[in-house]
């Protein structure tokens, strides 16, 4: 066995903040790190942030550009709405805009009926997706988040998982990050402004969803990107939510920076004497603080003989001697590299 170790340098600053939520999480959507957490598995009514689940199921339906004829399902809606009418024609995509920007409960019912066939079937789809994503704290009883039938129950942790998943969908990402959207139908013209105030007041914001019921109180999901990090913050029962989100983003973006520690594809192992090309199949990214800068170690464990799949060893990433990541290393003997190419590869951007 041959082992090669090198150290990665990182820079960051810590800034404290005060938090007022009953439950709160700051979560990196790429690395899956919990950067801040308080009562993250507390299960309670989450109000309209549960519409994130409704939206992602619509986005994954393959029907976003289909025309929906609004039916009497909207008679069940009350509270916030986009005020569509029976017989009105609107694309599913525009209904999702109305759902996410204006928290339309009528839009939620129309989406649920169109995508699920019936509202009850759609609710079953919501719970199936939650189970698929490992949202173990969550139970959905309706597509809108109102407190009917016990409301939709979840935790800040589960809503962070859901949002991380949803933000990988380009349609969802575009819709949730839209500040204003206009729609013309066979019956009306609409101009909607997003209720997520951070989209207008905090430059790093990329999306999110507001929520409120008398039982849930104020709930909020927001996302923001900076310092090579894509973060979601979720708060439940927080009367100061927009300020708390902004303050926590400022803390996390000052305390952490995201680093691409390993990049998939060719990887350099400088002091191996052979000229073979080595590669890995996945990226590894991690958020680190300044005081952790000297404690990241990347360790290659290379065998003398490859297996039948061209695997020839492993690469490990450690922080303070704790293993963060491990992946297989493969060899491509048909592609040769020089010693200087190996050295150069250690210093890629």
For the segment 113-124, what is each residue's pLDDT rounded down to a tens digit? 999 999 999 999
Model pLDDT for residues 54-105, shown as the tens digit of each residue: 999 999 999 999 999 999 999 988 999 999 999 999 999 999 999 999 999 9
Res 335: pLDDT: 58
Residue 103 catalytic? yes
Res 267: pLDDT: 82
Environment class of 11 (CB within 10 Å of its CB; exposed 0-12, middle 13-18, buried 19+): exposed
Q: What is the largest CA-CA distance in the chain?
A: 74
Res 15: pLDDT: 39
Res 191: pLDDT: 98
| Cα–Cα dist 342/241, whole Å | 49
Res 148: pLDDT: 83
Under CATH, what is the fold of the domain 2-11+259-345?
Spermidine Synthase; Chain: A, domain 2 (2.30.140)
| Cα–Cα dist 284/33, whole Å | 12
Res 259: pLDDT: 93
CB of 102 closer than 8 Å to CB of 195: yes
Residue 96: enclosing H or E segment and its boundaries?
helix 92-102
For the chain, give the percent of residues with pLDDT over 90.
78
Residue 201 catalytic? no
Residue 48 catalytic? yes
Low-confidence ranges of the chain (pLDDT < 50): 2-17, 339-349
CB of 273 closer than 8 Å to CB of 32: no
Res 274: pLDDT: 65
Domains of the chain, by residue range, sit at 2-11+259-345, 23-239
Q: Which of 45, 50, 51, 225 is catalytic?
A: 51
- What's the CATH number of domain 23-239, 3.40.710.10, 3.30.1300.10, 3.40.50.620, 3.90.550.10? 3.40.710.10
For 211, list phi and psi in degrees, rounded to 5.
-160, 150
Q: Which of 50, 103, 155, 277 is catalytic?
A: 103
Q: Which of 45, 48, 155, 164 is catalytic?
A: 48
Same fold for the pair 2-11+259-345 and 23-239 = no
């Amino acid at each position: 066995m041959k082992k090669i170790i090198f150290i990665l340098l990182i820079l960051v600053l810590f800034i404290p903040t005060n938090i007022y939520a009953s439950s709160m999480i700051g979560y990196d959507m790429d690395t899956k790190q919990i950067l801040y957490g308080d009562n993250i598995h507390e299960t309670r009514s989450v109000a309209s942030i549960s519409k994130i689940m409704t939206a992602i199921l619509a986005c994954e339906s393959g029907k976003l550009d289909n025309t929906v004829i609004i039916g009497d399902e909207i008679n069940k809606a009350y509270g916030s709405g986009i005020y569509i009418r029976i017989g009105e024609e609107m694309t599913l995509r525009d209904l999702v805009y109305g759902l996410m920007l204006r928290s339309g409960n009528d839009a939620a019912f129309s989406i649920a009926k169109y995508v699920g066939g019936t509202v009850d079937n759609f609710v079953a789809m919501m719970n199936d997706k939650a189970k698929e994503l490992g949202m173990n704290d969550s139970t959905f009883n309706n597509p809108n988040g109102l407190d009917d039938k016990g409301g939709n129950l979840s935790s800040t942790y589960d809503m962070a998982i859901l949002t991380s998943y949803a933000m990988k969908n380009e349609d969802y990402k575009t819709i949730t990050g839209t500040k204003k959207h206009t729609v013309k139908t066979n019956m009306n013209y609409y101009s909607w402004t997003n209720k997520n105030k951070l989209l207008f007041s905090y430059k790093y914001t990329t999306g999110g969803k507001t929520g409120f019921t008398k039982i849930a109180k104020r709930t909020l999901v927001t996302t923001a990107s900076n310092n090579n990090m894509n973060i979601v913050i979720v708060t439940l029962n927080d009367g100061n939510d927009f300020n708390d989100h902004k303050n926590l983003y400022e803390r996390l973006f000052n305390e952490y920076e995201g680093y691409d520690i390993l990049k998939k594809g060719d990887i350099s192992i400088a002091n191996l004497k052979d000229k073979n090309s080595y590669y890995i199949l996945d990226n590894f990214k991690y958020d680190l603080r300044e005081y952790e800068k000297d404690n990241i170690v990347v360790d290659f464990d290379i065998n003398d003989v490859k297996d039948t799949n061209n695997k020839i060893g492993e690469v490990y990433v450690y922080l303070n001697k704790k293993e963060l990541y491990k992946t297989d290393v493969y060899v491509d003997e048909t592609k040769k590299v020089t010693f200087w190419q190996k050295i150069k590869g250690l210093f890629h951007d």
